[in-house]
Every structure is written in structure tokens, then in C-alpha cells.
Amino acid sequence: MNIVLLLNNDIASNLALNLLLPALAPHNIKVFLSSKVGGNLTRPQALQDLARFEQHDIYQALEQLPKVNAQKLMFKTYPEITQHHGIQIETLNQINAEQGIEKIQALSPDLIISIRYGVILKNPIIALSKHGVINLHSGKLPDYRGVMATFWALLNGDEQLSTSLHFIDDSSIDTGRIINNSTLAVQQNKSYLWHVLSLYVGGCQLIEQAIETLDNDGKIITKNQGSAGEYYTFPSAEKITEFSARFGPLYQPSDLVNLLTSLKQSE
């Protein structure tokens, strides 16, 4: 199949691509990155620090690993994935513009996979994919639509977190047909970002199953969400303070490096 992946330029999307590499290997792959998630509104300092860590600081931490540990690291950066797997990766923030549509159309995609892509897809793009567009959302739908679903689930006291793999049927946000869910038990001593990255392990297994189904000419079974649920946006400084008082900082560099180094080498 011709598969287009729409990802974000951050550690979670980068991890997801690493996890999916074995399932993607038999297919023709092209990756497009958004530069960030959400609009241009100024966010609380804690979220700005989180974004810098997700996009820059975590990579610097990985570069400082002892050589013997770095050689065993399954995780590869975007440039390393291009180098070792030949997958072309480029930035595309204006995907709904004429040039963006032309780029996607030229690839004749059988499937488009969205993971943390920072731009809302519109119908011209959605219609280009033979099997549609599937999106991995790091929250239970329809309960946690919008951004930072894991943050809100933790703050609401949920003991179990979820990902939702769903179709993007139109330009509304997180409302499409549900394909499947994965779950993760909350770890009280772990950070928000640790939970997000850990969720992607099970979430990417759902994507692998969907790819296998389509590759074998099967039909993906779905269920409608209904109208229940709530839409969440980026938390305020006050909500982040409340979160930190209960769970600590949004990220712990050492825990995240340990998580990435604990992943098994891809075959």
C-alpha cells in the first residue's frame, strides 16, 4: 500500500514512527511533519517548556547517553530513520493549501495515518485516501476530545488511560468512527509525558492491526461515537499548578530517557 503518515515534530510522534517501522516496512511510505500542535496563542510557561523539551531537549539528553547504551537504542531520530530506512520526511504545515493537496495527491495514498499532526484536515485531503484517514488520539473518545487528553484524564482522577484509533470523517475534531482502544494503568510516580509516550506503545499496535486488515483486503469494523463527551483545550497556568501539586512536573527527563532506552530493538 501507499501510506502517508502525518506526524508532529516532537518526541511522541517520533516514537510512534519507530514503533510502526516493522509494520510499515512492506509498504511505500512518506512522512510529513507539522511544526507544532494548536494555534499561535501564547501558552503558560510550563507548556512552552514542555514543547521545548519534546522537540529539542529530549534529543540532547539521548545524545549524552554512554556510547554502549546508545548503540543498543531502538529509538531513532527522524533523520536517522531517513538514513537507515529510506523513508522521506519533510515539513508540511499548509497541507490544506493547493500545494499541500498536490503533494498528497501525487502519492496516491491508500491510507493516511495521523498521529499528533498539528493541522485540522479538510475534506479535499480526506477524500484523497482510498481507505480514508485514521487518527491515533491519546485519550478515550468521546470523553476526552481535543488536546492533552492524558493531562485532563489524570487531573480528573482516572485510574486508567486510553488511546482511541478513529477515522477522520470530516473537518470536525475527534468525532469520527471509533476503530479500537488501548489502555494503560496510571502510574502515580510517573509524569504526564511518560504516560503519553507509554500510551503510544499500545496505540501503535492498533494501527498495525488496521494496516494488516487493509493489506489483507479486510474491512475495518467501527462504531459511532455519539454526541456525548467533552472538548478540552490547553490547560491554564492554574490547572497546571493544580496538576503539579498532585503529580509533580509535566516531564521528568531521566524517566523518559529510561523509557526510550527500555524499548526492544526492532527486528
Q: What is the pLDDT of residue 244?
A: 96
Q: Is the peptide bond prior to 253 cis by the omega test (within 30 degrees of 0)?
A: no
pLDDT of residue 88: 94
Q: Where are the domains of the chain?
A: 2-262
Q: Is the dihedral of CA 229, 234, 238, 241 positive or negative?
A: positive
What are the pLDDT digits (tens) for 192-213?
999 999 999 999 999 999 999 9
Q: How far apart are the first and last CA of the chain?
A: 21
CATH of 2-262, one of 3.40.640.10, 3.40.50.170, 3.20.20.370, 3.40.1390.10: 3.40.50.170
Cell of 189: 510516580
Question: What is the three-class DSSP state of 88?
Answer: strand
Note the helical H segments in 111-175. Answer: 123-126, 149-155
| H/E element, 104 | helix 98-106
The predicted pLDDT at position 60 comes to 94
Cis peptide before 142 (omega within 30 of 0): yes
Q: What is the amino acid identity at position 16?
A: A
Low-confidence ranges of the chain (pLDDT < 70): 38-41, 68-72, 264-267
Element (H, E) at 202: helix 192-215
Sign (positive/negative) of CA torsion 185, 191, 196, 199?
Answer: negative
pLDDT (0 to 100) of residue 38: 61
Please enumerate in sequence order all residues whose Cβ is within 8 A of that of 210, keeping only pairs 6 or more positions apart, or say none: 134, 165, 179, 180, 220
> In this structure, which amino acid lies at residue 215?
D
Interatomic CA distance for residues 43 and 138, integer angstroms: 20
- In whole angstroms, give the CA distance from residue 154 to residue 191: 10
Amino acid at 60: Q
Q: Residues 86-98: pLDDT tens digits?
A: 999 999 999 999 9
Taking residue 129's Cβ as centre, other Cβ atoms within 10 Å add up to 21
Report the distance separating Cα 236 and Cα 184, nearest Å. 25
Distance CA 137, CA 163 (A): 6
